Amino acid sequence: MIVRKVYSIDGSVVGEVQLPSLFETDIRPDVIRRVYLSILTASIQPQGRDRYAGLRTSAESWGVGHGVARVPRVKGRGYSAAGRAARANQAVKGVRVGAPRVEKVVLERVNKKEKRLGLISALAATASIELVSRRHRLNGVKEVPIVMTDEVEEIKKTKDVEDLLIKLGLQNELERLKRRFKKIRAGKGKYRGRIRKRARGPLFVVLKDDASLRLSARNIPGVEVVPVRNLSVIDLAPGGVPGRLTIWSRSSLEFLSRNIGVIG
């Protein structure tokens, strides 16, 4: 039996709550990783190239002895492309080498029971202080997950959310998230809309889909809010690595204990 303190929005302890028994499940990092990859690959748009792209041509190499490169050249005369090097593998702007194949299977499938085990195992990992402390700065936090009263779902200002996290002892975590967000990505990704890498911070789990907290917390880098019905391994184990810091509202925790079969 795992018991956690319940905090109010001013950071004071107002009671205790018993966590559902699923938080005592054995943690399976291998299953969590597999389920994470299955959900991630399901969102990837399949793509591929025509296997004959760039190859429908009469081009052949002239061979040696002509003083020109031995790339395939288009046959014919009297038009602009005659004699020009075809877009072959050896030519600039030629056929792409190792292009994506249409027949490649991107989706990694898992069984329903395995997917459910991965979700429950990821939930259990959020109650392990050893795993959570590897990913987050937990100065002052002695037990995870953090449980709060339902007032947390009604917070309407971003400043109030930051103040709440500081009262819970997560000031160093906030500084880590902001420092990471300021760093510019190295490489070409910054030209393609991926200028920054966003570190993952605390995850608020709420009961209501229209909770005010979803709007007030979205401007804090790395902080996310998800309704308990939509909870997924993607949220609980970013990158397939278990041990994310979660902050539950009391009503969402009670909903989880009654309706574990409807989430995921």
Would you say residue 141 lies in a domain? Answer: yes
| Position 119 in a domain | no
Quote the domain boundaries for residue 140.
3-24+125-262
pLDDT, tens digit, 9 for 90 and up, residues 209-225: 999 999 999 999 999 99
Average pLDDT, rounded, for the chain: 92
pLDDT (tens digit per residue) in 11-37: 999 999 999 989 999 999 999 999 999
Using CA atoms, how far apart are residues 224 and 213, in angstroms rounded to an integer? 10
CATH number, position 16: 3.40.1370.10
DSSP code of 45? P
Question: Residue holding tokens 């490169």?
Answer: 69
- Say if 149 falls within a structural domain: yes
Beta strands per DSSP E along 166-223: 203-206
Q: Is the pTM of this model over 0.75?
A: yes
Q: Indicate the angle between helix axes 158-167 and 171-182, nearest 10 degrees.
A: 130
H or E segment to which residue 256 belongs? helix 250-258
Looking at the structure of the chain, the number of domains it has is 1
Q: Has residue 54 been placed in a domain?
A: no
Question: Does 173 fall in a domain?
Answer: yes
pLDDT grade, residue 81 (50/70/90)? confident
On whether the CB atoms of residues 229 and 210 are closer than 8 A, the answer is no
| Domain presence at residue 31 | no
The answer on pLDDT for 173 being more than 70 is: yes
pLDDT at 88 over 80: no
